[in-house]
């Protein structure tokens, strides 16, 4: 399995921004250069396991959370992210998001049925 370094980098960037840290600050905490850290966030370079652990510790986030796009059994992580997305929504926003999710789910299932028909 190929690791999706762009997805990993996007998750690192998202968590860094949630913590209100600059790339320079986090790079210094982790012990890498700012250009190297920038390349990690953009997925242009592969991150080593020790560096990934240092980033995870600095951001107080599990490596599971950072790697969830690459790990097959990660439904629980995505469900937690959905809860976090809803946490600061008012009732109107929740209703709209739920309606959108229902519509997207229906489309996904219809497309899956069509795909299965063509595959048989």
pLDDT at 58: 96
**pLDDT(61) > 80:** yes
Q: Give the structural domain span for 44.
A: 5-67
**Mean pLDDT score, 12-21:** 95
Instruction: Please report the pLDDT score of residue 77 as a whole number.
Output: 78
The answer to whether the beta carbons of residues 51 and 32 sit under 8 Å apart is yes
Query: In Å, how far are 11, 34, 86, 118 from 81, measured between CA atoms?
Result: 11, 28, 9, 33
At 118, list the tokens: 């063509």
Q: Does 93 lie in the same domain as 52?
A: no
Residues 60 and 104 in one domain: no
Considering the domain architecture, whether residues 62 and 22 belong to the same structural domain is answered as: yes
HEC profile of 30-97: HCCCHHHHHHHHHCCCCCCHHHHHHHHHHHCCCHHHHHCCCCCCCHHHHHHHHHHHHHCCCHHHHHHH
Handedness of CA 19, 20, 22, 23 (dihedral sign): positive
Instruction: Render pLDDT for 62-120 as a digit per residue (tens, 0 to 9).
Output: 888 898 877 666 677 788 888 989 999 999 999 999 999 999 999 988 887 777 766 66
In a domain, 20, yes or no: yes
**102 and 50 assigned to the same domain:** no
Arithmetic mean of pLDDT, 44-57: 95
Q: How far apart are CA 32 and CA 41, in angstroms?
A: 13
Answer yes or no: do 10 and 53 share one domain.
yes
12: closest CA among 77, 57, 50?
A: 57
In a domain, 77, yes or no: no
For residue 41, tell me if it sits in a domain: yes
């Amino acid at each position: 399995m190929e690791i999706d370094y762009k997805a990993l980098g996007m998750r690192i960037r998202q968590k860094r921004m949630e913590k209100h840290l600059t790339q320079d600050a986090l790079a210094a905490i982790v012990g890498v250069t700012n250009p190297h850290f920038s390349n990690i966030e953009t997925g242009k370079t592969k991150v080593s396991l020790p560096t990934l652990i240092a980033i995870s510790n600095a951001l107080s986030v599990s490596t599971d959370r950072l790697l969830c796009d690459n790990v097959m059994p990660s439904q629980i992580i995505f469900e937690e992210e959905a809860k976090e997305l809803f946490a600061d929504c008012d009732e109107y926003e929740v209703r709209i998001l739920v309606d959108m999710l229902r519509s997207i789910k229906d489309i996904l299932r219809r497309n899956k049925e069509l795909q299965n028909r063509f595959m048989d």
